[in-house]
Amino acid sequence: MTESTLLINSHWIVIAPLIAFIVILAFRKILGLDGAWVGAVALLYGLIHSFLIAIGIFDGSLVLPSQGLQGHYFESSQSWFTVGNFSFKVGMLIDGLSSIMLVVVTLVSFLVQVYSISYMRGHPRFGRYFAYVNLFTFSMLLLVVADNMLQLFIGWELVGLCSYLLIGFDYEREAAAYAGRKAFLTTKIADIGMYLGLLIIFNYLGTFSIPQLSQNIASMQYPTWVVTMIPIFLFIGAMGKSAQVPFHVWLPDAMEGPTPASALIHAATMVAAGVYLVARVFFLFEASPIALDVVAWVGVITAVLAATMGLVASDIKRVLAFSTVSQLGFMMAALGCGGYSSGMFHLSTHAAFKALLFLCAGSVIHAVHTNDMWKMGGLLTKMPITAITYLIATLAIAGFPLTSGFFSKEEILAVAFHHNIVIFFLLSFTALLTAFYMFRSWFLTFTGLARDKEIHHHAHEAPLLMTGPLMLLAVLSLFLGAFFTYQGNITKWIHWGSHDTEHHGSAVILMASLIAFVVGMALAMWIYYFKPPKYQALAVRFAPLYQILVQRYKFDELYLWGIHRIFNPVVNFSAHFDYRFIDQKVVDGMGVLGKGFSYVSDLFDKYVIDRFMVDGQGTFMDRLGLYVRRIQSGLAQSYLFWMAIGLASMLVWASHVFK
């Protein structure tokens, strides 16, 4: 296969899961369990194709024809439909950035689908699940390869839809249905920001095409507010998808969905879409230092807040959810500090170990049928593969030296260190917390005495279809980072002009990350492994703090209060107004008016037309007759009289005529 063939046919990567979706949806009754393999095959193809493209770009064998501010890229687009002067395009934009994402998305989707074949066995809506997963993959790929903002937005909204469908997959449970709605609505509110951003983009920059935008923003002058607000608005949209504070509230509740779906969507891919968006149009953010600062600080705050909430979680998936939010904050902070490539690097490594963590959690849940870590314990002996892979992932996320997470996190810290020392300290502190709560979760789940004998008794290792992906991801988590760091940098893929800096070898940063790891792990070990009852004492001693953390800083309560106290009254007032005024007065008024008109018209018809004109004519004729009848009086003299009158008139006439 030549390189250009790879590129020209790259749209098949996107279309394959769409075809799988349609096939599965249409034939799910017939296919039964085999429907899942349709999706797996489609994604395997997508994975191989994406992998080949990525390798080609990495080692330079694949030539990308066009050159822009972001480096070389390949673009192909077609006009979808035209409205006036503007034509909506659908197309592919392949460069280093999108090729990384292609690999990430297809790899994780493939592994999750294989895993799900075993995990979702026996579920009544088995076929629909795979249909949704493939629809999601298609949407995510559509977003990733988009060469114009409109297509990106379409993919954006579609992944939101799939997220809703998958979170609320077990819709019989009220909690799941509620979580689905919450996710959709929260991200939708954030999408308003993105929409506003798109509006301003089109209005001022006149195009949606991403390469064109990068040229415009560099070469032309725009009002300051435009340059500042576009990235901020787009970032608001990204905040929704990537669960940044204050839009983070949906992600912990999204854990109601099936665990593999959580792994795919809420760990590796959809939540990364926000980060990807910022990276994709980084030139817009670059043009406004204010926007970059907003991104950085929102990211830092999110990272810290989420990490603190993860300290007290008792549901294993919730811990991972908070961890996801926190790591996304890391990525945003990295981007905000100008670390374009380090942010994307972390996104890739995070995809690997977070997906692994979720799939392991799924394996555990599948075995013990509960999410509550306080009911687990001592599962290491019962589920060794799961336990080991989970440990590997924990090491990666905590930043154990030479794991992939270590390299990516260290790069972020380096970027932060050179940008803003406060951010550096906060991120380091967060790394410490991350290590702590991740090890806490591992110790609670797999070590120590079994807290619930029944559960422990029934626990068993997962089948190969589930453990296979686990092991693959574990390998990636271990070696991905090292591979990239020592095989040439990730900057071989994504290079951002002169803004990207190489930060290897700074001793302070290395020290900071090591300290964070060690201290975090030691604390967790001390509390949860060596002296188990300690955590109860801690909870009592720091009770107020504990309460705040458990209640997740009361964000949900705040929002619900806002809805009940502010939004609902407004809505009620509008409804009331609509009903009382519009419906009753205006609409019914029209009705009354119409009735009045018809009444008047009826009166008119009855009295004027019928009585006056119709009957009137008759009466008139009657009375006229009565009157005229009197002429025939029967008296000859009267007749003579009239004759005389006639004679007189003739005389008069004759005397006039014959003058």
Partner 1 sequence: MIQATIFYFLAAMILIPALLVVGLKNVFHSALWLVMSLFGVAGIYAMLAADFLFAVQIIVYAGGIMVILLFVVLLSGRPSDWAQRQVNEKAWAAGLFSLFFVAVLGTTLSNWSLIPKLEEPKLSTGQLGTLLLTDMVVPFEVVGIVLVAALIGAIYFSNRKSS
Partner 2 sequence: MIGLKHYLFLGGILFSIGLFGVLSRRNIVGILMSIEILFNAVGINFVAFNRFTHPGIPWGHGFTLFVIGLAAAEAVVGLALVLAIYRNSRTVLVEKLNLLQG
Per-position x/- string for 550-569, each x denoting binding to partner 1 as judged by CB under 8 A, each - no binding: --------------------
Is residue 127 within 8 Å of 29, Cβ to Cβ?
A: yes
Q: Using the rule CB under 8 A, is 1 a contact of partner 2?
A: no
Smallest distance from the beta carbon of 653 to partner 2, in angstroms? 19
Q: How far apart are CA 552 and CA 148, in angstroms?
A: 38
Candidates 327, 294, 295, 292; CA nearest to 310 is: 327
CB-wise, 63 or 651, nearer to partner 1?
A: 651
Q: Which stretch binds partner 2 (CB under 8 A): 98-106, 280-288, 368-376, 640-648?
A: 640-648
Q: Which helix (H) or strand (E) holds 73?
A: strand 71-83
Among 635, 657, 658, 659, binds partner 2 (CB under 8 A): 635
Candidates 174, 302, 169; CA nearest to 241 is: 302
Smallest distance from the beta carbon of 657 to partner 1, in angstroms? 13
Q: How far apart are CA 435 and CA 517, in angstroms?
A: 6
Indicate which of partner 2, partner 1, none lies near residue 60 (CB less than 5 to 8 Å, by partner kind). none
CB-wise, 543 or 628, nearer to partner 2?
A: 628
Q: Using the rule CB under 8 A, is 633 a contact of partner 1?
A: no
CB-wise, 613 or 640, nearer to partner 2?
A: 640
Smallest distance from the beta carbon of 635 to partner 1, in angstroms? 9
CB-wise, 590 or 631, nearer to partner 2?
A: 631
Among 637, 656, 657, 659, binds partner 2 (CB under 8 A): 637
The residue length of the chain stands at 659
Indicate which of partner 1, partner 2, none lies near residue 540 (CB less than 5 to 8 Å, by partner kind). none
CB-wise, 219 or 632, nearer to partner 2?
A: 632
- 48-87 positions binding partner 2, by CB under 8 A: none
Among 634, 655, 656, 657, binds partner 2 (CB under 8 A): 634
Please tell me the chain's helix, strand, coil percentages from 3-state DSSP, rounded to the nearest 5: 80, 5, 20
Q: How far apart are CA 94 and CA 75, in angstroms?
A: 6
Beta carbons within 8 Å of 636's beta carbon, 6+ residues apart: none
Give me the DSSP letters along 244-301.
-TTSTTHHHHGGGS-HHHHHIIIIISHHHHHHHHHHHTHHHHHT-HHHHHHHHHHHHH
Among 569, 645, 650, 653, binds partner 1 (CB under 8 A): 645
Q: Which stretch binds partner 1 (CB under 8 A): 105-113, 291-299, 451-459, 647-655?
A: 647-655
Indicate which of partner 1, partner 2, none lies near residue 422 (CB less than 5 to 8 Å, by partner kind). none
Smallest distance from the beta carbon of 634 to partner 2, in angstroms? 3
Instruction: Give the HSE-up count for residue 519: Cα atoms under 13 Å, Cβ half-sphere.
Output: 13
- 353-392 positions binding partner 1, by CB under 8 A: none
Tokens linked to 262: 């959580």
Q: Using the rule CB under 8 A, is 219 a contact of partner 2?
A: no
Among 640, 651, 652, 654, binds partner 2 (CB under 8 A): 640
Q: How far apart are CA 287 and CA 375, in angstroms?
A: 52
CB-wise, 570 or 657, nearer to partner 1?
A: 657
Q: Contacts with partner 1: how many residues (CB under 8 A)?
A: 9
Is residue 217 within 8 Å of 284, Cβ to Cβ?
A: yes
Q: Which stretch binds partner 1 (CB under 8 A): 271-279, 363-371, 500-508, 634-642?
A: 634-642
Q: Using the rule CB under 8 A, is 498 a contact of partner 1?
A: no
Q: Contacts with partner 2: how many residues (CB under 8 A)?
A: 10
Q: Using the rule CB under 8 A, is 627 a contact of partner 2?
A: no
Smallest distance from the beta carbon of 638 to partner 2, in angstroms? 9
Indicate which of partner 1, partner 2, none lies near residue 651 (CB less than 5 to 8 Å, by partner kind). partner 1
At 306, the amino acid letter reads A
Among 185, 192, 590, 652, binds partner 1 (CB under 8 A): 652
Q: How far apart are CA 127 and CA 167, in angstroms?
A: 16
Among 638, 646, 650, 653, binds partner 1 (CB under 8 A): 638
Among 225, 526, 641, 653, binds partner 1 (CB under 8 A): 641
Using alpha carbons only, give the angle 117, 121, 126 rounded to the nearest 5 degrees: 85
Partners of residue 499 on adjacent β-strands: none
Among 192, 537, 608, 648, binds partner 1 (CB under 8 A): 648
Helix H, strand E, coil C: the string for 600-653 is HHHHHHHHHHHHHHHHHHHHHHHHHHHHHHCCCCCCHHHHHHHHHHHHHHHHHH
Q: Using the rule CB under 8 A, is 632 a contact of partner 1?
A: no
Candidates 394, 374, 380, 319; CA nearest to 535 is: 374
Q: Using the rule CB under 8 A, is 641 a contact of partner 2?
A: yes
Give me the DSSP letters along 231-243.
HHHHHHHHHHHTT
Q: Using the rule CB under 8 A, is 649 a contact of partner 2?
A: no
Q: Using the rule CB under 8 A, is 629 a contact of partner 2?
A: yes
Indicate which of partner 1, partner 2, none lies near residue 633 (CB less than 5 to 8 Å, by partner kind). partner 2
Among 172, 626, 637, 656, binds partner 1 (CB under 8 A): 637
Smallest distance from the beta carbon of 637 to partner 1, in angstroms? 7
Among 574, 633, 646, 654, binds partner 2 (CB under 8 A): 633
Q: How far apart are CA 250 and CA 118, in angstroms?
A: 27
Candidates 204, 201, 211; CA nearest to 77 is: 211
Q: Which stretch binds partner 2 (CB under 8 A): 254-262, 484-492, 512-520, 638-646?
A: 638-646
Smallest distance from the beta carbon of 657 to partner 2, in angstroms? 20
Smallest distance from the beta carbon of 623 to partner 1, in angstroms? 23
Among 8, 558, 644, 650, binds partner 1 (CB under 8 A): 644
Is residue 244 within 8 Å of 274, Cβ to Cβ?
A: yes
Beta carbons within 8 Å of 245's beta carbon, 6+ residues apart: 239, 298, 301, 302, 305, 306, 329, 555
Indicate which of partner 2, partner 1, none lies near residue 219 (CB less than 5 to 8 Å, by partner kind). none
Indicate which of partner 1, partner 2, none lies near residue 634 (CB less than 5 to 8 Å, by partner kind). partner 2
Q: How far apart are CA 448 and CA 376, in angstroms?
A: 9
Q: How far apart are CA 413 and CA 276, in angstroms?
A: 20
Give me the DSSP letters along 435-484.
HHHHHHHHHHHHSS--S-HHHHHH--PPPHHHHHHHHHHHHHHHHHHHHH
Among 185, 511, 613, 644, binds partner 2 (CB under 8 A): 644
Interface residues with partner 2 (CB under 8 A) are: 629, 632-637, 640-641, 644
Q: Which residues bind partner 1 (CB under 8 A)?
A: 637-638, 641, 644-645, 648, 651-652, 655
